């Protein structure tokens, strides 16, 4: 499990140390809390490691907080940002919000408001990570099939509904064709024409999609996930999973759980 990192950027030593102390007392060692005295140092830190939450002053010598935010955005570093400032000029707040800042705190900052802002930022960071995982889990070809399904002929729509209900069970083309009252050969042609995947490819992709969801959302064993996804043996499931995803189910789970938390 990776430790989340909070980076505090402020040119005033007393201010940044005070923020760090407040967050250390609140977090009880759950987060790595780093300090930077200026924007240059902060950018160097973000080049070397992922920063989940960035707390930065607006007015700093050489490179301002706003300029730093523009720089890291251009370089695709995307921490959740909280801005702190002794200045309440509206243009600063406006510019900060345009750069994706989620909170704008004025000095002197109360400990309660600081902790509340960081807690909100942590929730946003977790939601981002989970959204990223979902985007990795989703199979583009299945998305296309789902979109196509909305305009597919009724027998194919019924076939997909039947597949969904019986994904865990053994499925074959003849059985599904019989269910929608079509000749198996005609059903095969119609399915490919409407869904843009063969029947067997659709079943495989849908089962692996289901398995990926279980891998990141449950603690089920690989053998149980194989069974839940319609595979008789874990060995065969692992083989098919690796062919489609390029890694084993265990490796997939490890990588994505670490990213999520």
3-state secondary structure the chain: CCCEEEEEECCCHHHHHHHHHHHHHHHCCCEEEEEECCHHHHHHHHHHCCCCEEEEECCCCCCCHHHHHHHHHHCCCCCEEEEEECCCCHHHHHHHHHCCCCEEEECCCCHHHHHHHHHHHHHHHHHHHHHHHHHHHCCHHHHHHHHHHCCCCHHHHHHHHHHHHCCCCCCCHHHHHHHCCCCHHHHHHHHHHHHCCCHHHHHHHHHHHHHHHHHHHCCCCHHHHHHHCCCCCHHHHHHHHHHHHCCCHHHHHHHHHHHHC
**Would you state the pLDDT for residue 1?**
45
CATH superfamily of 138-260: Homeodomain-like (1.10.10.60)
Q: How far apart are CA 216 and CA 202, in angstroms?
A: 22
| Residue intervals in the chain for CATH 1.10.10.60 | 138-260
| Residue intervals in the chain for CATH 3.40.50.2300 | 4-127
Largest CA distance in the chain: 78
Q: How far apart are CA 159 and CA 203, in angstroms?
A: 11
**Which portions of the chain are predicted below pLDDT 70?**
1-2, 89-90, 133, 146-151, 257-261
Write the pLDDT tens digit of every residue in 208-255: 999 998 998 889 999 999 999 999 999 999 999 999 999 999 999 988
Write the pLDDT tens digit of every residue in 149-176: 666 789 998 999 999 999 999 999 999 9
**Would you state the pLDDT for residue 152?**
76
Find out if CATH 3.40.50.510 is the number for domain 4-127.
no
């Amino acid at each position: 499990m990776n430790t989340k990192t909070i980076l505090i950027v402020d040119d005033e030593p007393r201010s940044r140390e005070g923020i760090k102390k407040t967050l250390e007392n609140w977090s009880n060692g759950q987060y790595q809390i780093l300090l930077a005295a200026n924007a240059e140092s902060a950018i160097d830190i973000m080049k070397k490691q992922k920063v989940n939450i960035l707390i930065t002053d607006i007015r700093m010598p050489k490179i301002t907080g706003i300029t730093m935010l523009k720089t890291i955005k251009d370089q695709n570093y995307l921490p959740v940002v909280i801005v702190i400032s002794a200045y309440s000029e509206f243009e600063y707040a406006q510019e900060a919000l345009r750069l994706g800042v989620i909170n704008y705190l004025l000095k002197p900052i109360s400990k309660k408001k600081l902790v509340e802002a960081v807690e909100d930022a942590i929730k946003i960071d977790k939601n981002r990570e989970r959204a990223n995982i979902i985007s990795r889990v989703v199979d583009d070809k299945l998305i296309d099939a789902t979109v196509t399904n909305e305009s597919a002929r009724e027998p194919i729509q019924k076939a997909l509904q039947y597949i969904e209900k019986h994904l865990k069970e053994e499925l074959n083309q003849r059985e599904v064709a019989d269910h929608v009252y079509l000749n198996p050969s005609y059903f095969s042609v119609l399915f490919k024409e409407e869904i843009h995947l063969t029947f067997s490819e659709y079943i495989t992709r849908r089962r692996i999609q289901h398995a990926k969801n279980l891998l990141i959302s449950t603690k089920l064993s690989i053998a149980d996930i194989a069974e839940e996804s319609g595979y008789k043996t874990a060995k065969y499931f692992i083989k098919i999973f690796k062919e489609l995803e390029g890694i084993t189910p265990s490796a997939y789970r490890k990588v994505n759980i670490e990213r999520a938390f």
